[in-house]
Amino acid sequence: MAIHDWPAQERPRERLLAHGPRALSDAELLALFLGSGTRGRDAVQTARDLLGTHGPLRRLLDLPAAQLARLPGLGPARSCALMAGMELAQRHLAARLQQGECVGQSVAVAARYLQHRLRGRPNEVFVALFLDNQHRLLACEELFHGTVNAASIHPREVVRRALALNAVAVIVSHNHPSGNAEPSRSDREATNALQRALALVDVRLLDHLVVGEGPPVSFAERGWLPEPGAAS
C-alpha cells in the first residue's frame, strides 16, 4: 500500500504538520526526504531498510555524500538534499549563537552546534568559540587537529586568537572519535592550563565540551571550571 493510501492520521507529512517533527520516527523523517520508495516498497519501508542496514541515523548521515548517493532509494539528488539539510541545521545553530542565545549559564545551543559539527569526525579536533561581551559568537575556529585519540592544545594560540578577535569569553570543545565522551586526565590538565592563560588577559573560559556518543560532557556542569584563584 502506498503512503497516500494510508489513513491521513498515519501519514508522516500529515503527522508532522499536526504534531511537529518530534512526533516522527527516524524512518518517517528520512522518508520525507526520500519522497518515494524503491520498487515494491514505500518511502517509510525504504527508510527502514536504509537504517537497518546502514544505521542508526547518525551513522547513516555521517557517510560521505558520494557513498550515500550509491545507496538504494537515495541517489545523487536525495543524498545532496540530505547533506544540504544537515548544513542548514548547522548554520541555523551558528546563527542562534551569533544572536547571543548562549547568554547566561546555559550553553545548550553551543553544545548542540558543536555536537553537530564534531561528532563523527575520524580524528580529534579542537574548536574554540570566541564570544563578545554579550556572549554572541565572534568566530568559531578549528585550532588544533590530532590523531584518533589525541590533539595537543596550545594555550598561547587560543589566547592570541582571543586577543585578535577582542573576545571576552571562550567556549572550547573537542571530540573523542572512540565515542566515549568522558574527559581524560590530560583533558582536565590542559583545560586548567588554558583557563589560567586566558584569565591573564581577562578572558573567561565558559566551558569545555567533550563530544562523543550521547550528550556532550560539560566541564562547567561538573564544576571543573572554578574561577582562577578560587579555593578548591
What pLDDT, in 10s, does the model give residues 109-132?
A: 788 889 888 987 889 999 999 999
Whole-number pLDDT of residue 199:
97
pLDDT one-digit tens code per residue, 52-110: 998 788 788 878 888 888 998 888 988 888 888 888 887 887 777 666 655 444 467 78
pLDDT band, very low/low/confident/very high, at 4 (cuts 50, 70, 90): confident
**Boundaries of every domain in the chain:** 3-90, 102-218
Which comes out higher in pLDDT, residue 4 or 45? 45
Residue 24 has pLDDT above 60, yes or no: yes
What percent of the chain has a predicted confidence (pLDDT) above 70?
Answer: 91
Asked whether the whole model's pTM tops 0.75, one would answer no
Residue 142: how many other CB atoms lie within 10 Å? 13
Whole-number pLDDT of residue 104:
47
**Which one-letter amino acid corresponds to residue 17?**
L
Q: Rounded CA gap, 156 and 123, in Å?
A: 22
Tell me the mean pLDDT in the region 31-55. 87
| Residues 203, 159 contacting (CB under 8 angstroms) | yes
- Grid cell 553544545 is found at 111
CA-wise closest residue to 210 among 138, 101, 118: 118
CA-wise closest residue to 205 among 168, 177, 153, 165: 168
Q: Quick one: CATH architecture of 102-218?
A: 3-Layer(aba) Sandwich (3.40)
Residue 158 half-sphere exposure, CB side, CA atoms within 13 Å? 31
How deeply is 40 buried, as exposed, middle or buried, from its count of CB atoms within 10 A (0-12, 13-18, 19+)?
Answer: exposed
**Which one-letter amino acid corresponds to residue 58?**
R
